[in-house]
Amino acid sequence: MTSSTSLGFENRFVDLLPGDKESKNFCRQVFDACYSKVKPTSVSNPQIVAYSREVAELLNLPESWMTAKEAAETLGGNRLMPGMDPYAMCYGGHQFGNWAGQLGDGRAINLGERVNSSGQRWVLQLKGSGVTPYSRHADGLAVLRSSVREFLCSEAMHHLGVPTTRALSLVLTGDQVTRDMFYDGNPEREPGAIVCRVAPSFVRFGNFEIFAARQDTVTLRKLMDFTIREYFPHLIATTELQAETLSTETYLRWFDEVCRRTAEMVVHWMRVGFVHGVMNTDNMSILGLTIDYGPYGWLEDYEPTWTPNTTDASGRRYCYGQQPQIAMWNCAQLANAIWPVVQQEEPLREALKTYSATFEANWQTMMAGKLGLRSFNVGADESLVEELLKLLNAIETDMTLFYRQLASLPLESNFGRDCNTDESDVEDELDFFVSHFSVAFYDQRQISKSYKSQIGQWLQKYRNRVRQDGTDDADRQTSMDRINPLYVLRNYLAQQAIDKSEQGDHSMIYELLDVLRDPYRPQKNREIFAEKRPEWARNRAGCSMLSCSS
């Protein structure tokens, strides 16, 4: 092994926390333990079909290793590198608002903590690597279609500037996996695959909830101490660095920061039009990272009530517009989980207020940025934003393309002048507006005379507001294009890559990965990746809504 690959692995989660005393791998309830040791299931013919060079570099894994057979065997679960001590975590969670009891890593196995040359620790986790004690009688495997989506979205979100777990590799296993994609009694055999996910930690809200639900305060406190010492050391007072357990004040500072990080993450989701789809508490990272890319989606036309998850179609609990409220609800469940240790209600409530205040402040800053404003004027800009969002929802309008077109609108030209005398001039100007934004409209027939008038009036208000800032067109476009992406992982693009990959052509996975590395700047000869959803993809499986099946 080269020196870069022999930097090794550590296993502080395993070494410092209580583990499952049962060594056999079978589905069961696991008590008094944060994890169960378990090895990945061997696969017949592991093949790396894509990998992220940035994540490989982060882990000091050279290209020569990533393209070697050893990498495929390791990332496919057939062999372990020195120092790896694989395990699955025990956690619970609220699913769609209801307590679900023990869940755990049912198809994910943590290989260990990679320590890179900078001393950073990164957990490598194989998703789709076989049965664990938490599989609940499932097979613990994953298929190619869901794995492609997870691999691409993990990296796309990172390059968009959204806090997220990362993805190192996508491995075809050479085996077939049976899945009922639509839960309609028609299972099919699909290609099996494994994604290697990477993060400083995969600890979730649900890791704490399970011990609170079982009234296991001893293990709960151990996990809280471990989490803060490992991932939030800046919160620990100097006087308690050597203490056996941390103070209540430190626990409260930690919860406050978790609330803040969670709020910041969700603001980023709203900024780029991302819909997680399954915001259960077991899918909420304690580090404020986007985690578990299942039936996620990206807003095509701006519709706040849209959800990508077929399971959520009736209730729409996890739709785009509900995400801020659900994230706060999840933080409240974490507060309930740590209450047995903290036992101070008012500071926990104050921390939840931190979530609200952080979200509101960051949302205002974010919306000002999307509109190219220097700052958010609470009095005037609230109505400006509210009117805009109503306009976007009034007819099918592509959110991503609308903001890019708004950035390029020439506010300093004769366009946008006050037209009070000549009715034909007014009509020409409104036609100019519609023409400029036409690439963002899904159905031109929806553009009524009333809508033209409304968008014209809004654009006039917007121009006046920009003038107050004294920002010229060039500077405004530059600042707006830094926050409003041009390229996002639209569902139909991911599905096209999946379709090709299932036929043995993995080239589009790499092409999308490359495009999404630079989502804010136009890329020559890649205009097709910035187009709105084609009509054929409106209701096609994988391009509109998805199930939790994978």
Identify the band that residue 2 occupies on the pLDDT scale cut at 50, 70 and 90.
very low
Catalytic residue among 20, 256, 282, 301: 282
Sign of the CA dihedral with 456 first, then 434, 393, and 395 last:
positive
Calculate the alpha carbon distances from 100 to 92, 96, 103, 280 in Å. 7, 9, 7, 10
In the structure encoding, which two tokens stand for residue 304, read together?
């706040």
User: At residue 286, does pLDDT exceed 80?
Assistant: yes
431: annotated active-site residue? no
Determine the average pLDDT of the residues in 164-190.
89
- Which of 209, 413, 176, 396 shows the shortest CA–CA distance to 306? 396
The residue length of the chain stands at: 550
**pLDDT reported for residue 423:** 65
pLDDT digits (tens, 9 = 90+) for 214-251: 999 999 999 999 999 999 999 999 889 888 899 999 99
CA distance 56 to 378: 44
CA distance 547 to 550: 8
**pLDDT reported for residue 8:** 84
Average pLDDT, the chain: 94
Identify the band that residue 183 occupies on the pLDDT scale cut at 50, 70 and 90.
low
Determine the average pLDDT of the residues in 16-25.
97
In the structure encoding, which two tokens stand for residue 139, read together?
């097979």
Determine the average pLDDT of the residues in 387-393.
97
CA distance 219 to 305: 40
In the structure encoding, which two tokens stand for residue 64, read together?
């020569």
pLDDT digits (tens, 9 = 90+) for 395-452: 999 999 999 999 999 998 655 454 454 666 778 888 888 899 999 999 999 999 999 9
pLDDT digits (tens, 9 = 90+) for 99-153: 999 999 999 999 999 999 999 999 999 999 999 999 998 999 999 999 999 999 9
Torsion of CA 7, 11, 12, 15, to 10 degrees: -130
Least confident of 91-100, 105-114, 185-194, 253-262: 185-194
Does residue 129 sit in helix, strand or coil?
Answer: strand
Which residues sit opposite 88 in a β-bridge?
36
What type of residue sits at position 542? G
Determine the average pLDDT of the residues in 516-532.
97
**pLDDT reported for residue 6:** 61
- Higher-pLDDT residue of 182, 109: 109
**pLDDT reported for residue 541:** 84
Instruction: Give the position of tokens 């333990």.
Output: 33
- Which of 375, 376, 160, 351 shows the shortest CA–CA distance to 268? 160
Q: How many C-beta neighbours within 10 Å does residue 522 have?
A: 12
Calculate the alpha carbon distances from 464 to 34, 373, 392, 410 in Å. 57, 11, 20, 13
Backbone angles phi, psi at 240, to 5 degrees: -115, 15
In the structure encoding, which two tokens stand for residue 8, read together?
């090794």
CA distance 315 to 168: 35
pLDDT digits (tens, 9 = 90+) for 467-478: 999 999 999 999
**pLDDT reported for residue 414:** 59
Identify the band that residue 7 occupies on the pLDDT scale cut at 50, 70 and 90.
low
